Amino acid sequence: MILFDSISPLTHSAKVTSPLLLSSLSQRPPRYAVLGAGFAGLSVAWHLLKESPKNLHLHIDLYDEVGIGGGASGVSGGLLHPYSPKVKLLWRGAECWKDCLKLLSIAEQAVSSEELVSESGEFGQDFGGFIVRRRGILRPATNMKTLNVLNDNAQNCVVGCKIEIIDKDAALKLVPHLHVPFNLAFYMPEAVNVNSQYYLKALFLACQNLVKELSASGFGKKKLCLQKKSVCELRELEAEYDAVIICLGAKADLLPELAGRLPLRTCRGVILHLQLPDNIGEDYPDHGPSVLSDAWLAIQGNRSLYMGSTWEWKSRNSSPNVSTDEASNALQELLPKASAIYPGITGWTFAGARAGLRAMPPLTSHGSLPLLGCVNNFLGDLKCKYWLLGGLGSRGLLYHGWLGKLTAEAVLSCNEQIIPSELTSWKNKR
């Protein structure tokens, strides 16, 4: 168990005035359980620590049977931008983009701090490689049917993640030998590629550092504990916590209290790791962006990349392990799609595979939106408040910063009205 004591900063003390917090100040400290240590769970944990009043005593338990980033979040390809496959700005995409970049910066700063003191042996985690690779993302136009749609959508881009419409020559300067069939590509120079595993570990380190850093302030006491065990039923937490935040992705449906009640579909995705053999001399360029198409290429370095992803709907297999047959089938499916845009990929060799089980939300007029809100109406008359942050689908990395902040503020204030109605309306359609 990891345990630190600290004080939280006075960021939202004026508006955090819920009966739960006020009563807890005169009794025992409020105790919160966050279920899941992926994108959603770690964002909620960070924001609970960051947003709570500095004089509030607070205890947070973070539950994950595997540990940090052990589920689908840790398997994510890590391509980050606020647009749909047709480069249309997603609903509330600007806010999601801004808050995600903040958390990425916080995680990088935590690792930088660790590296400065690593010689003292105070930290034992290894952060080899990058957390954020800043080379942009390139999306070639691949068919005439969508060319005009892509072109129109590209006109409405976010400040801080612009879309440049470039010709074939410009695209080939970025990625030599790229196939640009319609002499047009859409380049997002500020889009990034995130190493999900390193990022999640770094964000947890940032939570630890925040707890530790604020402990010298002399105000309320904070505790953060990682519990490496599963929760089989929500009711087993009833007597111990004031609020439980469920951030379990596809596994939320395995809780008996929620089984069959969430409008989620599961989808297993396999991602392949490819490397450039030693006998091939031409590296992927240092400045080369990652590539979006029917299959995407998330560049890890000059001679390493991830290729994804498959979509196996209705799968219940949440294991990150990929069998030889499953990997072979994924390679047969993805390689022709990737080589249609980047023919050189056929010279790369298979180096491994991993998989995750996505929790896909229903389609709305605003697109596929995650599910947020209090779920006590599912559970009966309970003293504890139960909250859900789920259905992030394949956009968990983009959504997690903003939605984690919204959820933390709603929990701290016991006020679901903080959350936009578009994210809670799913409860009215059951």
Report the range of poorest mean pLDDT among 72-76, 212-216, 352-356, 410-414. Answer: 212-216
Say which residues have a Cβ less than 8 Å from residue 181's Cβ, sequence separation at least 6. Answer: 140, 141, 142, 143
Looking at residue 128, its pLDDT comes to: 52
pLDDT tens track for 175-198: 999 999 999 999 999 999 999 999
Looking at residue 418, its pLDDT comes to: 95
Q: What percent of the chain has pLDDT over 70?
A: 89
More confident residue, 14 or 390: 390
Report the range of poorest mean pLDDT among 141-150, 161-170, 253-262, 317-326. Answer: 141-150
Q: What percent of the chain has pLDDT over 90?
A: 77
Looking at residue 114, its pLDDT comes to: 67
Report the range of poorest mean pLDDT among 62-71, 273-282, 307-316. Answer: 273-282
Please provide the DSSP assignment of 246-292 as one string: E--GGGGGGSTTTTTTS--EEEEEEEEEEE--TT---PPPTTPPEE-
pLDDT tens track for 152-182: 999 999 989 999 999 999 999 999 999 999 9
Q: Is the pLDDT of residue 117 over 50?
A: no
- C-beta contacts of 184-187 below 8 A and 24+ residues apart: 184/140, 184/141, 184/147, 184/151, 185/138, 185/139, 185/140, 185/141, 186/87, 186/138, 186/139, 186/140, 186/141, 186/150, 186/154, 187/136, 187/137, 187/138, 187/139, 187/163, 187/289
Report the range of poorest mean pLDDT among 15-24, 67-76, 252-261, 419-428. Answer: 15-24
- Distance separating alpha carbons of residues 334 and 153, to the nearest angstrom: 26
**Average pLDDT of the segment spanning 69-96:** 95
CA torsion, points 392, 275, 299, 70, in degrees to nearest 10? 30
- Distance separating alpha carbons of residues 73 and 200, to the nearest angstrom: 8
Residue 159, Cβ density class (10 Å: 0-12 exposed, 13-18 middle, ≥19 buried): exposed
**Spatial CA neighbour of 131 closest among 190, 212, 195:** 195
**Average pLDDT of the segment spanning 112-137:** 64
**Spatial CA neighbour of 329 closest among 304, 351, 305, 312:** 312
pLDDT tens track for 363-411: 999 999 999 999 998 887 677 799 999 999 999 999 999 999 999 999 9
